[in-house]
């Protein structure tokens, strides 16, 4: 869970990059950290973790624009890439946000169910103001972590220990509950 002063994008990118270097196969996407970007490009970009591909997402940054202005067709095409990575044997699924679309049952929400069906851990950034909606969606099957690297590292160590057979839990859900 993250608040206004947190930077979940940078945290997720750094965390997943370190995991990748250690041989962990990640599937999902993370938004590129736009608010520190000095370019004049106002498009939001996401990194598809399995391939490293950077995909721009259309945004309407007009003064009168309401909402995020996401091109709603993009999540569907990105979802196909992530779904393929899940089926190819990912160790972790990362979903950039439980945002407005996901709260409405759209966006990338189906990937969470696909990951759960494959008994894969899912890491998702949930803004404070959507946490209640996330709890309802996940039926309480989640672990609330602060938006801090040490918390992610401890969580992943417990998940990795389960995967290596050193835990008595039989599924990821059993492990984290």
Q: Are strands 92-95 and 122-124 parallel, antiparallel or unpaired?
A: parallel
Q: Which residue has the higher pLDDT, 15 or 79?
A: 15
Top mean-pLDDT range of 35-39, 56-60, 63-67, 108-112: 108-112
Check whether 167 has a pLDDT greater than 50. Answer: no
Contact 58, 68 (CB under 8 A): no
Residue 30, beta-bridge partner list: 47
| Residue boundaries of the structural domains of the chain | 8-176
Specify the CATH class of 8-176 in words: alpha beta
For 148, phi then psi, to 5°, come to: -140, 140
Residues 116, 52, 76, 4, CA torsion sign: positive
The pLDDT score that the predictor gives to residue 169 is 47
The pLDDT score that the predictor gives to residue 56 is 80
pLDDT per residue over 122-142, tens digit each? 999 999 999 999 999 888 888
Check whether 119 has a pLDDT greater than 80. Answer: yes
pTM of model > 0.85:
no
The pLDDT score that the predictor gives to residue 127 is 95
Please list, in sequence order, all residues whose beta carbon lies within 8 angstroms of the beta carbon of residue 42, skipping any fewer than 6 positions away: 34, 59, 61
**Got the DSSP string for 104-171?**
TT-TTHHHHHHHHHTT--EEE--BGGGHHHHHHHHTT------S-HHHHHHHHHHHHHHHTT-SS-SS
pLDDT per residue over 49-102, tens digit each? 988 888 887 655 454 445 555 555 566 778 888 899 999 999 999 998 898 888
Element (H, E) at 46: strand 44-48
């Amino acid at each position: 869970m993250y608040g206004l002063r947190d930077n979940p994008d940078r945290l997720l990118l750094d965390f997943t990059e370190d995991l990748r270097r250690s041989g962990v196969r990640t599937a999902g996407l993370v938004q590129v950290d736009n608010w520190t970007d000095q370019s004049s490009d106002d498009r939001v970009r996401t990194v598809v973790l399995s391939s490293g591909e950077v995909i721009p997402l259309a945004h309407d940054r007009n003064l009168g624009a309401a909402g995020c202005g996401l091109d709603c067709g993009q999540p569907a095409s990105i979802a196909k890439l992530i779904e393929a990575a899940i089926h190819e044997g990912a160790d972790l699924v990362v979903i950039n946000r439980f945002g407005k679309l996901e709260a409405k049952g759209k966006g990338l929400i189906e990937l969470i169910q696909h990951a759960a069906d494959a008994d894969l851990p899912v890491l998702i950034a949930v803004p404070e103001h959507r946490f209640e909606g996330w709890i309802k969606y996940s039926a309480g099957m989640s672990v609330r972590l602060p938006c801090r690297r040490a918390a992610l590292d401890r969580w992943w160590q417990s998940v990795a220990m389960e995967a290596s057979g050193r835990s008595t839990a039989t599924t990821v859900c059993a492990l984290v509950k």
